[in-house]
Amino acid sequence: MRRQGFTFLEIMIVVSILAIIFAMGLPFFLHHRAERELEGAQRTLQTQFGLAREASLTMGPAAGSASANNGTPVIACVMTFPQTGPGFIMQTVDNNGNVLQTFQAPASVSIAIPPGPFRWDCNGALDPTSNLGAGPTKGKFTLSSTNTKTQLTITLSPAGGASIP
């Protein structure tokens, strides 16, 4: 008489093989996911810098003229980091105190920032009082993952633009 189906032993062998494959792939998957979160935060932060610069161009008196402040460009928006640890928060506020945008990073991402503050004038450039630091870390915002040893940077230039190296 011929049996149909699988024996318990055959099923257990297949389940064991699948468990081994899963156990080997899980660390790679978790590392890969953490890196994607970090890259996503980096790109979002770069976009937020661009949006702050763009907003500053549309907010100044007479669409960017410096005449309302004795020839000095008016501060149009300020970027602050109320929380810089894991899951950092970044806010951009206009010259009237209205919150333009808020970004909260994933809980696994933290940031190291230059001294600040970061102020864009109505011409879209960083105000001279913005402190980007000095030396090789000037203008560098370093994002790091709490799950991996990966670090990514964004560089903010005095002209107000941000770049990913």
pLDDT for residue 11: 94
126 forms beta bridges with 120
CA–CA distance from 76 to each of 1, 10, 26, 114, 118 (Å)?
Answer: 87, 70, 47, 20, 11
- What's the domain range around 30? 8-163
Q: Given strand 140-145, what is the order of strands in its sheet?
A: 109-112, 140-145, 151-156, 162-163
Task: Mention every residue, 6+ apart, whose C-beta is less than 8 A from residue 38.
Answer: 108, 109, 143, 144, 145, 148, 150, 152
CATH number at residue 112: 3.55.40
Residue 85 within a domain: yes
Residue 158 within a domain: yes
The β-bridge relationship of strands 140-145 and 151-156 is antiparallel
Report the number of distinct structural domains present in the chain. 1
Residue 69 within a domain: yes
Residue 3 within a domain: no
Cα 156 from chain centre: 13
Total-model pTM: 0.71
Residue 98 within a domain: yes
Cα separation, 132 vs 45, whole angstroms = 16
Query: 43 vs 117, which has greater pLDDT?
Result: 43
Residue 112 within a domain: yes
pLDDT at 71 over 70: no
User: Could you report the per-residue pLDDT of 16-68, keeping only the tens digit for each?
Assistant: 999 999 999 988 888 888 888 889 989 988 888 888 888 777 765 544 444 44
Average pLDDT of the residues in 99-126: 84
